[in-house]
């Protein structure tokens, strides 16, 4: 299933259930709101973190003899053919996915269980939506569960979906359009940099992309540990995030 297909499926879900789940009332896109500057700052911060994350993964591969070369078609061609379409598609996909998984599913499951259970449910479901993507395997499943878990932590930390949206979007955009990795099984032929990673699939991620590789998994796990520690400190200081019950009864600023 292509990323565009996933986008259409998710958007269809929201169109059908718009009035029943009132998701856009709880997590509206507040570009006109008084807190617009904060939302944009969170999105930018997430984007920088997402770009840095993929850059670190790329440099680790390069430091371990991965081969790369720059696109010889020129920057203007790359921008028009690869980067601009990637920005549009991935932003729409990421907004939709964050609304559904870190917005609606996480909140609703948490209301009847705990944050930990809600996070596990949304992360697993998020990963399983990629089941039909080219190259999907148990390694892809684990990598995407880690990614979903991290996105939830970013949401908790910022009390907003804008931070994970920014991270998610630039993670995908830089992964494919800039560095030339496959993005969840979708190859990018017009990326700024073309990279070839040798070695076994557990190292390279294979056809699915680096999310199915050990480098990405370790990086995501480290970020989860760091954010988990930060949230633990916050919970001890202010009681904002209690163990397993962090979001109940609190309104989260949406996308």
Residues sharing a CB contact under 8 Å with residue 138, sequence separation 6 or more, in sequence order: none
Candidates 108, 106, 99, 141; CA nearest to 124 is 141
Q: Is residue 12 part of a domain?
A: no
| Predicted pLDDT at 59 | 96
| Predicted pLDDT at 235 | 80
| Predicted pLDDT at 9 | 57
Q: Is residue 207 part of a domain?
A: yes
| Predicted pLDDT at 143 | 97
**Using one digit for the tens of pLDDT, what is the confidence trace for 52-108?**
999 999 999 999 988 999 988 888 989 999 999 999 989 888 888 898 899 888 988
Q: Is residue 100 part of a domain?
A: yes
Domain range holding 153? 38-238
Q: Is residue 21 part of a domain?
A: no
Q: Is residue 103 part of a domain?
A: yes
Where is average pLDDT lowest: 108-117, 155-164, 167-176, 245-254? Answer: 245-254
Q: Is residue 182 part of a domain?
A: yes
Question: What is the total count of domains within the chain?
Answer: 1
Q: Is residue 25 part of a domain?
A: no
Q: Is residue 19 part of a domain?
A: no
8 or 166: which leads in pLDDT: 166
Rounded to an integer, what distance in angstroms lies between the CA atom of residue 187 and that of residue 111?
39
């Amino acid at each position: 299933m292509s990323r565009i297909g996933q986008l259409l499926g998710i958007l269809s879900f929201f169109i059908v259930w718009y009035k029943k789940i009132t998701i856009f009332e709880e997590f509206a896109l507040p570009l006109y709101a008084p807190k617009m500057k904060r939302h944009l700052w969170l999105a930018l911060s997430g984007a920088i973190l997402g770009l840095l994350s993929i850059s670190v993964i790329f440099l680790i591969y390069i430091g371990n003899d991965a081969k790369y070369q720059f696109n010889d078609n020129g920057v203007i061609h790359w921008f028009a053919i690869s980067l601009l379409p990637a920005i549009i598609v991935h932003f729409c996909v990421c907004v939709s996915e964050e609304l559904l998984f870190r917005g609606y599913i996480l909140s609703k499951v948490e209301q009847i269980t705990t944050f930990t259970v809600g996070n596990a449910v949304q992360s697993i479901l998020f990963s399983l939506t990629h089941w039909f993507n080219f190259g999907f395997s148990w390694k892809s499943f684990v990598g995407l569960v880690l990614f979903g878990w991290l996105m939830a932590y970013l949401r908790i930390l910022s009390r907003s979906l804008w931070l994970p949206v920014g991270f998610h979007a630039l993670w995908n955009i830089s992964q494919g359009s800039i560095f030339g990795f496959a993005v969840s099984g979708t190859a990018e032929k017009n990326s700024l940099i073309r990279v070839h990673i040798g070695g076994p699939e557990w190292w390279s991620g294979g056809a699915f992309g680096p999310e199915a590789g050990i480098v990405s998994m370790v990086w995501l796990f480290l970020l989860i540990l760091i954010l988990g520690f930060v949230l633990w400190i916050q919970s001890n200081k202010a009681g904002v995030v209690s163990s397993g019950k962090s979001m109940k009864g609190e309104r989260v600023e949406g996308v």
